[in-house]
């Protein structure tokens, strides 16, 4: 996708006035939050599982080189072909080469955020290979030429009516008079159209939620079963996975799956958890004849072992965006990167550069809800703050902001002056606003008062009031 994060403010403004989007976003709050809360309340061990999940990933990251080697060894032993890609470009070249050797005309795809990150669809299409997204949400946005707006519910920004209009526009081989007023009819239509694509594809490509070092296994998690039809029917299965997806054992994966399903969709367990190891075995009546795994870095090692290290624990559940007031207000597209919400605000500057994505770590109220629901206990606000610091250090912030912070810093370092000036300012504002209790307009505070009133402060500062009480 084209990165539009530099235009975040404009994107957000447009999102706030998009009525379709605002109607669709109501489902995020109503759906995800309630469902998660219910299954979490039903499992007394949930917090202990979160601690265990965090520890598993911490241990793995500390030994990442060794676990990647162990994974490669086991996957190769099972007949899999492991490829290593330093950059998105390397991964694209490897994937194209596999597709060309397979003589592929169409390739079906299970949902994969890494494939969005490396823009594989456009690249394959430019090279004469038709990529077909098969996850219902991904299929819908592919028809619209849009990027996903959520990492697990890519079409959450759309209403049913919009989907109906797209199906009528694209599925012109079907009866124009058909009834598509119900969501069930839309689902049935997509199922029928995609069934033919599944059976015709030469190559199937999926992501991986996890790679298991113990057995050389890749794991995908889906509710629809599209990822399974993608990998079991074509002659060639390609898995694209980033380096931090590796975990030690099948037991470790089981712990992570328990927190993933609950945090993502509020299910006790996702419908299909599929563990794939190598190609079809002698005597197997189905399954792919070739099994390739592309292991991708693409900027992850630059987060390893420094202040952004914790982010590499992320298992892509989406709970942080589901609980984010900023995401609720503007949806995912405004972020202008494949990764959105709080996790996107931390990940995007690392993957696409701070110059591109500096707006995103600033798009947070630091309310802390994301961290409170993160199954991997990633301190997301702290990591966003690290990016803000880097932005400031590198002089990327706007001049007014830098100047304002400079003034504030001067006062903060001179406590007497700070107290004197706040006492004067608060006293003046309190006196001026005494009658109405609020300000409708205020010099230098237009950014605030354009949208809402500023409550008038008490005429005495907090420190003065405390001092009065203590006497």
Partner 1 sequence: MSGRETVLGKVRRALAVSGSESDREAAVEQRLASPAAGVIPKRGQLEGAARVDLFCKMAEAVQAGVTRVASSDDVPEAIAKFLRQNNLPAEIRLGADDRLAGLPWEKTPNLTRKSGPSDGRDLTGVSHALGGVAETGTLVLHSGSDNPTTLNFLPDTHIVVVNAGDIAGDYETVWQRIRATFGKGVMPRTVNWVTGPSRSADIEQTLLLGAHGPRALQIIVIGGTA
Within 85-114, the residues that bind partner 1 by CB under 8 A are 85-86, 90
Among 16, 37, 48, 367, binds partner 1 (CB under 8 A): 48
- List the one residue from 37, 271, 425, 441 that touches partner 1 (CB under 8 A): 271
Bridge partners for 218 per DSSP = 211, 276
Q: Which of 302, 405, 409, 425 binds partner 1 (CB under 8 A)?
A: 302
Question: In the set 12, 40, 74, 320, which binds partner 1 (CB under 8 A)?
Answer: 74
Among 9, 16, 20, 65, binds partner 1 (CB under 8 A): 65
Q: Return the bridge partners of 10, or none.
A: none
Least gap, CB of 374 to partner 1 (angstroms): 17
Q: Which of 17, 172, 306, 400 binds partner 1 (CB under 8 A)?
A: 306
Stretch that binds partner 1, among 7-15, 57-65, 355-363, 367-375 (CB under 8 A): 57-65
HSE of 60, CA atoms in CB hemisphere, 13 A: 30
Scan for tokens 């367990």, then name that residue: 269
173: three-class secondary structure by DSSP: coil
* Residue (61 or 456) nearer to partner 1, CB: 61
114 contacts 1 by C-beta, under 8 angstroms: no
Considering the complex, state which of residue 84 and residue 392 has its C-beta at the smaller distance from partner 1. Answer: 84
Among the listed residues 266, 248, 302, the one whose alpha carbon sits nearest the alpha carbon of residue 55: 248
φ, ψ for residue 439, nearest 5 deg: -115, 135
Site for partner 1 in 222-261 (CB under 8 A): 223-226, 228-229, 232-233, 243, 248-252, 254-255, 257-258
Q: Output the smallest distance, CB 329 to partner 1, in A.
A: 17
Alpha carbon distance 105, 102 (integer Å): 9
Write out the binding residues for partner 1, residues 399-438 only, by CB under 8 A. none
Residues 321-360 that bind partner 1 (CB under 8 A): none
Smallest gap from residue 258 Cβ to partner 1 (A): 7
Q: Which tokens belong to 411?
A: 């006062």
**How many residues bind to partner 1 according to rule CB under 8 A?**
105
- Give yes or no for a contact between 171 and 156, defined as CB atoms under 8 angstroms apart: no
Tokens of 437: 């209790």
Rounded Cα distance, 339 and 62, in Å: 25
Q: Which stretch binds partner 1 (CB under 8 A): 124-132, 282-290, 369-377, 441-449?
A: 282-290
Q: Near partner 1 by CB under 8 A, which window of 98-106, 149-157, 354-362, 410-418?
A: 149-157
Residue 278 within binding range of partner 1, rule CB under 8 A:
yes
Which of 37, 125, 187, 409 touches partner 1 (CB under 8 A)? 187
**CB neighbours (10 Å) of residue 343?**
25
**Considering only residues 89, 103, 128, 305, which one is a binding residue for partner 1 as defined by CB under 8 A?**
305
Spatial distance between the Cα atoms of 297 and 97, rounded to a whole number of angstroms: 19
Q: Which stretch binds partner 1 (CB under 8 A): 20-28, 313-321, 416-424, 458-466?
A: 20-28
* CA neighbor of 291 nearest in space, from 76, 91, 74, 131: 76
Query: Angle of helix 160-170 relative to helix 183-200, nearest 10 degrees?
Result: 40
Q: Tokens representing 371?
A: 């961290």
Gap between the Cα atoms of 131 and 134, Å rounded? 10
Q: Does the protein bind partner 1 through residue 398 (CB under 8 A)?
A: no
Binding to partner 1 by residue 63, rule CB under 8 A? yes
Q: What is the dihedral of CA 6, 306, 242, 127, to 10 degrees?
A: 40
Site for partner 1 in 195-214 (CB under 8 A): 195, 198-199, 213-214
């Amino acid at each position: 996708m084209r990165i539009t994060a530099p235009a975040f403010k404009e994107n957000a403004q447009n999102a706030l006035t998009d009525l379709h989007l605002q109607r669709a976003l109501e489902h995020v709050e109503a759906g995800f939050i309630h469902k998660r809360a219910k299954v979490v309340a039903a499992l007394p061990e949930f917090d202990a599982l979160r601690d265990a999940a965090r520890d598993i990933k911490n241990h793995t990251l500390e030994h990442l080189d060794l676990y990647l080697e162990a994974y490669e060894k086991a996957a190769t032993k099972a007949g899999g072909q492991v490829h290593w890609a330093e950059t998105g470009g390397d991964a694209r070249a490897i994937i194209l080469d596999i597709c060309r050797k397979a003589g592929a005309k169409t390739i079906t795809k299970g949902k994969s955020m890494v494939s969005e990150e490396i823009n594989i669809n456009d690249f394959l299409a430019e090279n004469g290979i038709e990529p077909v997204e098969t996850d219902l949400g991904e299929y819908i946005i592919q028809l619209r030429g849009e990027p996903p707006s959520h990492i697990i519910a890519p079409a959450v920004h759309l209403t049913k009516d919009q989907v109906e209009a797209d199906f009528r526009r694209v599925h012109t081989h079907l009866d124009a008079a058909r009834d598509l007023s119900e969501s069930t009819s839309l689902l049935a239509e997509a199922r029928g159209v995609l069934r033919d694509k599944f059976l015709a594809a030469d190559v199937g490509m999926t992501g991986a939620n996890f790679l298991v070092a113990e057995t050389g296994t890749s794991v995908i998690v889906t509710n629809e079963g599209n990822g399974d039809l993608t990998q079991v029917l074509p002659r060639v299965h390609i898995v694209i996975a980033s380096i931090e997806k590796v975990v030690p054992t099948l037991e470790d994966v089981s712990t992570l799956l328990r927190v993933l399903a609950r945090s993502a969709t509020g299910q006790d367990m996702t419908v299909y958890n599929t563990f794939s190891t190598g190609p079809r075995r002698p005597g197997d009546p189905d399954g792919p004849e070739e099994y390739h795994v592309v292991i991708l870095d693409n900027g992850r090692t630059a987060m390893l072992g420094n202040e952004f290290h914790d982010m590499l624990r992320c298992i892509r559940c989406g709970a942080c965006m589901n609980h984010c007031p900023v995401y609720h207000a503007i949806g995912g597209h405004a972020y202008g990167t494949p990764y959105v919400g709080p996790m996107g605000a931390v990940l995007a500057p690392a993957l696409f550069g701070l110059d591109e994505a500096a707006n995103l770590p600033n798009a947070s109220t630091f309310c802390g809800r994301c961290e409170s629901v993160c199954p991997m206990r990633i301190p997301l606000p702290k990591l966003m703050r690290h990016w803000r610091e880097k932005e400031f250090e590198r002089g990327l912030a706007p001049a007014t902001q830098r100047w304002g912070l400079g003034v504030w810093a001067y006062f903060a370092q001179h406590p007497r002056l700070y107290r004197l000036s706040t006492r004067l300012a608060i006293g003046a504002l309190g006196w001026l606003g005494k009658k109405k209790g609020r300000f409708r307009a205020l010099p230098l505070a237009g950014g605030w008062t354009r949208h809402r009133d500023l409550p008038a402060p008490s005429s005495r500062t907090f420190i003065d009031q405390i001092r009065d009480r203590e006497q």
